[in-house]
Amino acid sequence: MASEQYAELRRRLEGERRRLQGDIAALDAEDHQPSDDAGIGNHIADDASDVMNRERNAALRGNANDLLAQVDAALHRIETGAYGTCERCGQLINPERLEALPYAIYCITCQAEVERER
């Protein structure tokens, strides 16, 4: 893969990193907004909606944190020169796969094997 392709993928990963950090911050802010007397005189359905929103935000935050870790790992692999190499078999990952999923750690063959093993 050419260095300009690596530079473009790095820019995309850094942009994705900023977006994920913003999403996580927004979810945190939403969870820390004061509610109007939660649990005091509210209808039980209102309290249930608040709980559901907090649980949804926790799930979204968990997914965003997982994806952020994958993006950070990909940026680290770029820094160390390991980017684009399958972590399972050591072969080069197809550039089209990296275009589609810039934080991929496996070639398509190994990814299929990993998914079958689950």
pLDDT digits (tens, 9 = 90+) for 63-74: 999 999 999 999
Confidence of residue 30 (pLDDT cuts 50, 70, 90): confident
Confidence of residue 40 (pLDDT cuts 50, 70, 90): low
- The Cβ of residue 92 has, within 10 Å, a number of other Cβ atoms equal to 13
Mark whether 73 and 93 lie in a shared domain: no
Q: Quick: pLDDT tens for 19-28.
A: 999 999 999 9
Mark whether 89 and 68 lie in a shared domain: no
Confidence of residue 49 (pLDDT cuts 50, 70, 90): confident
Helix extents (H) in 3-107: 3-31, 44-80, 95-100
Scan for tokens 């093993």, then name that residue. 117
Contact 64, 23 (CB under 8 A): yes
What is the residue-averaged pLDDT of the chain?
Answer: 90
Contacts of 87 (CB under 8 A, 6+ apart): 105, 106
Q: Where in the sequence is the domain holding 97, given as residue range(s)? A: 84-118
Contact 93, 104 (CB under 8 A): yes
Mark whether 104 and 77 lie in a shared domain: no
Mark whether 20 and 77 lie in a shared domain: yes
pLDDT of residue 71: 98
